Structure 1
């Protein structure tokens, strides 16, 4: 970036306002049109025959003006007319320019308010559709997206602080109790609890780092098989499914996709963890399928469906929000079913990084169906 680009906006050279430039443009156009009209009349008058006008009666003296006198009078009257036209053009141009630029002043005011942090303000420009209303609507849409993003970032920062503070506070409490009564402690049990709390803090930190990396650095994409990544994920969660008493049924058909194998495996693991931990207390089921998308040629999908309590569409719509667990923001009392509330948020980020889509649908009988839809090999982002 050169030195000029680094200068603050206040150092820009002062120029005429847009309203004044428009006014001068209108006036110049009006005066130019008047001058051209006068020139045409003047040139036309030059071709009038220049013979003396006399009376048929020699005794009467003719007072008819000559051609030169007519031209002189025309120039004099034209000068007065041009002066009046300039004044009228300036006044009219100033009023017209102000009326035309009034929506731009509203947009500028909204931009200044947004710069000061007031993102809730909307221009809501009325009137027929033109360039200004299109700009206003685009600006309002941008403000709405910025407001949603800013509010989500604030919630994320607050929730992340709370989640990271919780294991530290628990650790501090256990250490204080142990320090107050060293002889009455079961040190083996205390160490195990400290290790479990520390592991949870590490998991949250790793998940936050992964979520941050997905939001800033695009992953390396290459031809891969979504079915293979899902099969690896099933192997990783097999013991957890057995411990929770959940039956997993898989139908893995080839699903050649363009993606990152590591991230796709992590997304599949997160979907399976979510389906296992938010299931029925006993006799739960999870169904996993992969293959081409029958409704969208050129794309592949991974579907994970589980049994569980009935869910409302309003609740499901918030599940990809970071730190939102199956019970809202309250952690599960059962350690085996406890999560950190970032699983589906990471899957959503993986889907965005792969130009894919994540769909969450509540099952009528209870439970959730999650579909990860990705471009197939050679499909590209726009398929």
Structure 2
């Protein structure tokens, strides 16, 4: 935004200080004049009536002295106001410099104003916090973009390889080639849809309505029952009515992702427990499963995009590595909390806590 040039804040403060001093001096001069004119009468003031006082002549004699004093006050006001304004605006100068650096792409710089708390230091602290969050968000987006590019490149590279093989070997069975191409294409579509869903959750552009998590849990288990039977995993659903406010579609995807992960990252003859509960101001959806013991380091990273974890059980239905990342984004979009806890007997317990619907 282009603006016309104007006076600096420092100059404005200087003029304000000087103007205030001049106003006070002028008021003081007026007060003296009023006093002389009203309370000091003309006449003899000595005992022998030898000394005559003329108040108007006294004021005329006093005027040059007042002019000199006002000039001195103006000079002191300008010089002192300029120095005082510069000293007061030093923190703002540092904040402005940091803002310019951030606008040019440097997000690692911090102001770190020292001293006791005041308005400028509170502004600097808030700005430092904003820069830290913005830097972390940019780094996360860059990692996500790099990982997404890598994941999208993989099916395209496989497709290119299959097509090259088919072109160089005309006698190759086209049925097998088509099946493999179909599988690779399906994976690319699933990945694209997952990325779009993740973007939608991050933008928080959805209509809010009353949702019962217990019904979503039942729908998710019914939908994934065939997969659970194929994986030889038992699904157990229980709990109470747990109403919240949010997007029905996103919360349904959240529940489905959690149950799906609990099934595919499980052991043969394993179990998945899906429960809902109500607390005073929130509702909780919990999905736990059996499995191998999980390390704490793995727990802290598996919610990041494309972080599947090598210690987890892998199957043909393991997905594209965005399941828990989507869950985390949906939870944040609904002002909730996501807690992942490794079970002592093996497996994972995931708890989603959302504000209770009113």
> Aligned-pair distance for 1:130?
0.5
* Residues 1:32 and 2:6 aligned together: no
| Equivalent position of 1:174 in the other structure | 162
Residue number among 276, 281, 287 corresponding to 1:290 in the alignment: 276
> Aligned-pair distance for 1:278?
2.2
> Aligned-pair distance for 1:372?
1.6
Separation of aligned partners in 2, 1:179 and 1:198: 19
Residues 1-383 of structure 1 aligned to structure 2 (within 5 Å):
8-9=1-2, 12-46=3-37, 47-53=39-45, 56=48, 66-183=54-171, 185-216=172-203, 218-280=205-267, 282-293=268-279, 297-327=280-310, 334-378=314-358
> Aligned-pair distance for 1:153?
1.3
The superposition leaves residues 103-156 of structure 1 with CA deviations (integer Å, 9 ceiling, x where unpaired) of 111111111111100011111111110000011011111111111111111111
Q: What TM-score comes out, normalization by structure 2 length?
A: 0.92
Separation of aligned partners in 1, 2:42 and 2:297: 92
Separation of aligned partners in 2, 1:343 and 1:195: 22
Q: Tell me if the contact between 1:23 and 1:97 (Cα under 8 Å) persists in the aligned partners.
A: yes
The superposition leaves residues 312-332 of structure 1 with CA deviations (integer Å, 9 ceiling, x where unpaired) of 44432332221111339xxx8
Q: What TM-score comes out, normalization by structure 1 length?
A: 0.86
* 5+ long unaligned stretches in structure 2: none
| Equivalent position of 1:5 in the other structure | none
CA RMSD of aligned residues (A): 2.2
> Aligned-pair distance for 1:355?
3.2
Q: Tell me if the contact between 2:42 and 2:53 (Cα under 8 Å) persists in the aligned partners.
A: no
Aligned residues: 357
Separation of aligned partners in 1, 2:103 and 2:4: 22
Q: Tell me if the contact between 1:52 and 1:66 (Cα under 8 Å) persists in the aligned partners.
A: no
* 5+ long unaligned stretches in structure 1: 1-7, 379-383
- In structure 2, the CA distance between the partners of 1:140 and 1:334, relative to structure 1 (3 Å rule), is closer
